[in-house]
A and B are shown apart, each in its own frame.
Chain A
Amino acid sequence: MTPAWIKNTAFYAFVVFIVLQAVFPFYYAIVTSFKTGAEIFEISYYPRTFHLDNYYSVLFSGNGSFLRNIWNSVWVSTITVIVALFIAVTASYALSRVRFRGRSLMLMTILCVSMFPQVAVLAGLFEVVRALGLYNTDWSLIFSYTIFTLPFTVWVLTTFMRDLPIELEEAAIVDGATPWVIVSKIFMPLMWPALVTTGLLAFIAAWNEYLYALTFTASNDAARTVPVGIALLSGNSEHEIPWGPIMAASVIVTVPLIALVLIFQRKIIAGLTAGGVKG
């Protein structure tokens, strides 16, 4: 028998290790973002000076193009989430409640599709985007992100909806509810936890996406999103990588995500259905 204190110590050492390795890169970015000049290239693990120069330069130099990027990201991610959730909720109603031929095959296909790496469909998607005339517009991103988010979202919501008691739906049918009323008035309020979770994940994925954003909006500065914007930040000369502003930009775009997660974390109340059904 190992004494309890050894077990505890080992456990907490492990926890500390995991937290450190998860948080350290971000911490280092924050620390770096407050440095200027040559200081950036000295290695230090805690802030010694505190300058906001990098933040000013990111936000206000370059004709506010970074602010424009942020706005694009907010717009693209938000619309992606709304469109994806709408399609996913209606699709998962069909997949979980309507009996039709090939339903389970379809579910398996959806699951498989969600495993595809992005690059694999890049060329094909590019053709589609071009054909639809979306190339170089924000809609090309909304379109492709929605496609990539849907399999996971549909899968999760279908699983969740399948667990909602069938009698609830039947009670609503007897009350005269149409499928849309059932979905919007009965199921959606009960699926808040799942909607918030999948919506948040879709938002984060869209917010951070780089490859498609780079490819589909290559020659349109106005439609550019934050990840590409950061990558294309340029220094004073061709050979200088502006680490300071890059770090500041990264911090700026990460903070809203963290805030979102923290806000919605409190809303994710599981077991909302408890009590309505059974005694």
Chain B
Amino acid sequence: MASISIKNLKKSFGAVNVIKGVDLEIKSGEFMVFVGPSGCGKSTMLRLIAGLEDITSGTMEFDGQLVNALAPSKRGIAMVFQSYALYPHMTVFQNMAFGMKLAKNNKDEIKTRVEKAAALLQITPYLERLPKQLSGGQRQRVAIGRAIVRDPKVFLFDEPLSNLDAALRVATRLEIAKLHHSMNNVTMVYVTHDQVEAMTLADRICVLRDGYIEQVGTPLELYEKPANIFVAGFIGSPKMNLMKGKFASPYKANTIGVRSEHLQFVSKDGWAGKVIHAETLGSDSYVFVDIGTEEPVIVRESGTTKHTVGSKVQIAPLKGEVHLFNEQGNSI
């Protein structure tokens, strides 16, 4: 239930500038995902919002109130850490109750809130266990439960799924999405380097690179109208095919980008090339074609493909599905 307004935010550690001037408005009740390659400053952004790091310059407001110097516990936030950070010597119940206990809430109220959160996350049977007696997925739930008990206005997640195996990751992702629906109007800020997580969870995505914001928008906006080559390459799987030189010049662009599902095999007037590899996933196939670009171009076909390795083919983009970029890599 809090909107977050960040203006010209900078953060440096000693001489190293990590966040280099960020402006961002996060709406109340929004699910905002920070995504970007490792080391781009996502965690630092999240920790600045949490108040775990001091702001070097710029301002941060929650609901219009300046929070630059406000302690984390006073901001109405809760955070789920990548390593879960459960207190190893406390039971699940104690872990979840710790914050409320420090805030001197009365015992009955603590019990009610913890049990409610536990029920929501289906960890009621484990309340008396120690963290080490739980599986990774259960620990993750406890960490989320601890955050819920704090009844935060802003929920912060730092790569909460990265320690889980693939199947559990998908299941937990779904639960986090459900959690957002069920907790009306809680603002969530979620950090990940995985663009699939970003696409599936986010109301809006904020793509970060090297301490700057590259683009902010809904998943579809980023997918369909990437602001630059970086975003185009980062969002979507497989990566957008990027082509330069003679491929781009007919479009009066420095670089053109075409997603794999927007390429098709044609019988004439296409880009000629040779199939060098084909991946069959059952529902789709990805055909890798060498047409003389730096990296092979990936073409998606539904179903299984009839193009065998070594065969000569021609491919062409669908009309209106070509992204154009200038020399600076920005979209035109």
Interface residues of A (CB under 8 A from B): 165, 167-168, 170-177, 181, 186, 189-190, 272-279
Contact = CB atoms under 8 A, between A and B. Distances in A.
Given A170-B52, A173-B73, A176-B102, A274 B139 contact: no
Contact of A175 (B98, B136, B163): B98
Nearest to B102: A176
Interface string B85-103: 1111100000000110011
Interface stretch (B112-120, B125-133, B226-234): B125-133
B87 A276 contact: yes
A277 B78 CA distance: 18
Contact of A174 (B79, B135, B136): B79
Given A171-B87, A174-B79, A279-B135, 14 more contacts: A167-B82, A167-B83, A172-B98, A173-B73, A174-B150, A175-B73, A175-B102, A176-B102, A177-B73, A189-B89, A272-B88, A276-B87, A276-B131, A277-B85
B164 interface: yes
B85 A170 contact: yes
A273 B86 CA distance: 10
30 contacts: A170-B52, A170-B79, A170-B85, A171-B79, A171-B81, A171-B86, A172-B87, A172-B98, A173-B52, A174-B52, A174-B72, A174-B78, A174-B79, A175-B73, A175-B98, A175-B102, A176-B73, A176-B99, A176-B102, A177-B73, A177-B102, A275-B88, A276-B84, A276-B85, A276-B87, A277-B84, A277-B85, A277-B88, A278-B163, A279-B84
B133 A275 contact: yes
Given A174-B50, A174-B78, A279 B139 contact: yes
A277 B73 contact: no
A181 B103 CA distance: 12
Nearest to A278: B83
Given A167-B83, A276-B131, A277-B83, A174 B89 contact: no
B133 to A, nearest CB: 7
Contacts of B83: 165, 167, 277-278
Nearest to B158: A167
A276 B102 contact: no
Contacts of A181: 102
B299 interface: no
Contacts of A275: 88, 130-134
A273 B88 contact: yes
Interface in B121-156: 130-136, 139-140, 146, 150
Nearest to A275: B132
A166 B266 CA distance: 57
B265 to A, nearest CB: 44
Interface of B: 50, 52, 71-73, 77-79, 81-89, 98-99, 102-103, 130-136, 139-140, 146, 150, 163-164
A273 B132 CA distance: 9
Contacts of B52: 170, 173-174
A170 B83 CA distance: 12
Given A175-B99, A176-B99, A190-B88, A167 B81 contact: yes
Contacts of B140: 279
A168 B140 CA distance: 14
A165 to B, nearest CB: 6
A276 B150 contact: no
Nearest to B163: A279
Contact of B85 (A167, A177, A272): A167
B99 to A, nearest CB: 4
A279 B85 contact: no
Nearest to B152: A174
A181 to B, nearest CB: 7
A173 B72 contact: yes
Contacts of A278: 83-84, 163
B123 to A, nearest CB: 15
A181 B73 CA distance: 14
Contacts of A174: 50, 52, 72-73, 77-79, 99, 150
Contacts of A168: 85, 87
A174 B146 CA distance: 11
B287 to A, nearest CB: 37
Nearest to A171: B85
A186 B87 contact: yes
Contacts of A274: 88, 132
B53 to A, nearest CB: 10
Contacts of A173: 52, 71-73
